[in-house]
Amino acid sequence: MRIMAYEALDFYDVDSLLTEEERMVRDMVRDWVDEEVIPNIEIACREGVFPDEWRVALGEMGVLGAPLKGYDCPGLSYTAYGVICRELERGDSGLRSFASVQGSLAMYPIWDFGSEEQKNHYLPKMASGEWIGCFGLTEPDYGSNPGDMITKAEDMGDHYLLNGAKMWITNGTIAELAVVWAKLDGVIRGFIVEKNDPGFSAPEMKGKHSLKASVTSELVFQDCKIPKDRILPGVKGLRGPFSCLNNARYGISWGALGSAQACFDSAKDYAMSRIQFNHPIASYQLVQNKLSWMLREITKGQLLAYHLGKKKDSGTWIPEHISLAKMNNVDIALEIARVARDIHGANGILDEYPIMRHMANLESVKTYEGTHDIHNLIIGRHITGIQAFTREA
Amino acid sequence: MNITVLLKQVPDTTAKITISDGKVDENSVSKWSMSPYDEYALESGLQLKEKTGGNLIAITCGPERAKKMLTDAAAVGADTLVHISNDGVTDSTHVQKLLAAAVKKFDSQIVLCGKQAADTNGGSTGPGVAELIGAACVTLVSEVNYSEGNFSTIRPSNSGTEKVAVDGLSVFAFDKGTSELRRPNVRGIMMAKKKQVESITSGDLGVILNSSNVALNSQNPPPEKPAGQKFEGAEHVNEVVSKLRNEANVI
């Protein structure tokens, strides 16, 4: 029998705008998160592991690569993909990161830029969760500025030779394959590297205070030899990785709302039951002001995410729309987590409550997939027509 | 083999129930769900279908909103969805007549249902339908197995459990089953979206709903629980132990 069904904060009934199919997908993921993720997440974080059962369950539910069509992929709407991200991230940002990387960063480039053989070979097993993928773009010295990456590929006639290193790679150590971006004759190209390719290793990065239930790795290529048919034929230049990032960032704009809702729920419940000066602290104006502010920001974020979903589904979006939603929703989620910690008082630091975990996770989410500041610069460029990323024109 | 599962949509077990003018206010129910015992019946039906092949027919008698529950059943594997309008239904014998007529119409060899619905807790549907269609009925079952034309089932007995074998048309009413209802997946949800719900009325089934001998006078919320008792300090140990033993009966 089901445990207590989760009722999400949805002040403006935004979810009533979803299709019945989208709502059914929401309920499926929501129930799974309640039953399998929330009871186990703190242990996973303490142990610093991504539970393998979650990979299996995501594959069985059929949500990986949600908006991709064909090749045994789910073929859902982008709105449904957003809803899935939100429900997963109510559990934990590390879980949502797993799904984002698998779907938007590893499956998507193969689906959009891969050869027919590559699509048939990789996508069905990635949609089922059997094969995990990761995405290698960021390097130790090139984060916000990936265009100057050092990793390079050389055409050796009958194979390519990769040399270089990637860092901050979600799923790296547990991945069967990596979509790696490297310069071939000075042009950025995508390559599929498999875990047993000679000269490739993916050591795990330890010591994170954030996204502890997610695996983060380095990818190291030392004369890594890969067959010629592993290059992604369909794209050249930064457009390749940026198309992937647009989809992942879109998912994050929904996902962050899941974290924000978890923090709001916990803060509300705590405020209603915590007695100080003979009354629940929820009866005091300063606490009500905080809760009211949280509800206001979550409601605005929901409308932003929903409308962006419609724009993704109708193909009327521009990357700047995604920058705004990613930046705003992660920003408010992090601030909501901090205010929620405040409402919880000292209890807020314990893992009996989800607050500190979400807060620490959101510090990463604010930085990855385009930092908060970079998204501001993307919008700044849109407003003024002047790029402010670099001093060199 | 045609396997029929009888389902009822009820207020979710976590939904708050409000009473206005002596009746449950259905509009204030925030979430409607499949009755939990019916979920066990549905899961058992799905497992039987996997073993024997055939068609799983999900039938409900209820208002329009109950169609959503049929779509949920389709998402986990129900093949045929039948909604019987509850227009003119005033008591449980009406529901039994309609369900029995639908079971006959769809020519089922086996009927599975929950032992009682989570809202009314009446418990009459399984035995009532069995009586009307002339079927064997086994209640409070936890699993149903099929082999060579016979169904066998496990139910509680005086001294533990008993295994009951039935042949021919049978109705099984589920208590808590051995397996929870499976989770849907995206593929199931997308197939469910395409599946039509067959809507039928008492007229379509040739059932005449006679005036009822039963009148529901009023409904009341359960009495509020008395406030908890709080004891502080070691001097209360004897009193607390005595209360736990004699009043709460927990030690």
The first and second tokens of residue A261, run together, are: 């809702």
Cβ–Cβ under 8 Å, residues B13 and B122: no
**Mean predicted confidence (pLDDT) in A268-282:** 97
Q: Is the pLDDT of residue B218 over 70?
A: yes
pLDDT for position A270 = 97
Give residue-wise pLDDT tens across range A233-242: 999 999 999 9
pLDDT for position A3 = 53
Domains of chain B as residue ranges with CATH: 2-205 (3.40.50.620)
**Mean predicted confidence (pLDDT) in A151-161:** 97
Interface test with B, best of A6, A24, A61, A64 (most B CBs within 10 A): A24
User: Residue written as tokens 């009755």?
Assistant: B35
**B191 CB-near residues (< 8 Å, 6+ apart):** B74, B75
Q: Which of A62-66, A122-126, A292-296, B227-231 has the lowest mean pLDDT?
A: B227-231
pLDDT for position B14 = 83
Whether residues A24 and B187 touch (CB distance < 8 A) is answered with no
pLDDT for position A144 = 95
Whether residues B13 and A2 touch (CB distance < 8 A) is answered with yes
Rounded Cα distance, B160 and A38, in Å: 36
Rounded Cα distance, A131 and A101, in Å: 12
Q: Is the pLDDT of residue B148 over 70?
A: yes
pLDDT for position B251 = 81
Q: Is the pLDDT of residue A258 over 90?
A: yes
Q: Which of A36-40, A191-195, B91-95 has the lowest mean pLDDT?
A: B91-95
**pTM: predicted TM-score of the whole model, two decimal places:** 0.91
Cβ–Cβ under 8 Å, residues A372 and A334: no
**Mean predicted confidence (pLDDT) in B229-245:** 89
**Mean predicted confidence (pLDDT) in B153-172:** 93
**Mean predicted confidence (pLDDT) in A89-101:** 98
pLDDT for position A131 = 98
Give residue-wise pLDDT tens across range A204-216: 999 999 999 999 9
Closest Cα in chain B, distance from residue A79 (Å)? 14
Give residue-wise pLDDT tens across range B176-214: 989 999 999 999 999 999 999 999 999 999 999 988 888
The first and second tokens of residue A224, run together, are: 């890594």
Whether residues B192 and A63 touch (CB distance < 8 A) is answered with no
Chain A residues within 8 A (CB-CB) of chain B?
A: 1-2, 4-5, 7, 20-21, 24-25, 28, 31-32, 60-63, 66, 74-76
Q: Which residues of A are marked as active site?
A: 369
The first and second tokens of residue A187, run together, are: 């042009």
- Length in residues, chain A: 393
When pLDDT is cut at 50, 70 and 90, the band that residue A4 belongs to is low
Q: Is the pLDDT of residue B136 over 50?
A: yes
Tell which wins on pLDDT, A188 or B222.
Answer: A188
Closest Cα in chain B, distance from residue A64 (Å)? 10
Whether residues A2 and B184 touch (CB distance < 8 A) is answered with no
Cβ atoms within 10 A of the Cβ of A14, count? 17
Q: Which of A30-39, B113-122, B204-213 has the lowest mean pLDDT?
A: B204-213
The string of DSSP letters for A308-355 reads: HHHHHHHT---HHHHHHHHHHHHHHHHHHHHHHHHHHGGGGGSTTSSH
CA pseudo-torsion sign A325, A331, A334, A340: negative
pLDDT for position A95 = 98
When pLDDT is cut at 50, 70 and 90, the band that residue A1 belongs to is very low
Rounded Cα distance, B106 and B45, in Å: 15
Q: Which residues in B lie closer than 8 A to residue A66 (C-beta atoms)?
A: 186
Tell which wins on pLDDT, A175 or B30.
Answer: A175
- Which residues partner with B136 through β-bridges? B170
Instruction: Burial-class residue B197 by CB neighbours within 10 Å (0-12, 13-18, 19+).
Output: middle
Q: Is the pLDDT of residue A2 over 70?
A: no
When pLDDT is cut at 50, 70 and 90, the band that residue B149 belongs to is confident
CA pseudo-torsion sign B185, B188, B194, B199: negative
Q: Is the pLDDT of residue A142 over 50?
A: yes
Report how far apart, in Å, the C-alpha atoms of B62 and of each of A273, B213, B216 are: 39, 20, 17
Q: Is the pLDDT of residue B51 over 60?
A: yes
pLDDT for position A307 = 98
Q: Which residues in B lie closer than 8 A to residue A13 (C-beta atoms)?
A: none
Nearest-CB residue to B186 (from A4, A7, A61): A61
When pLDDT is cut at 50, 70 and 90, the band that residue B223 belongs to is confident
Mean pLDDT of chain B: 93
Give residue-wise pLDDT tens across range B11-33: 998 888 889 888 889 988 988 99
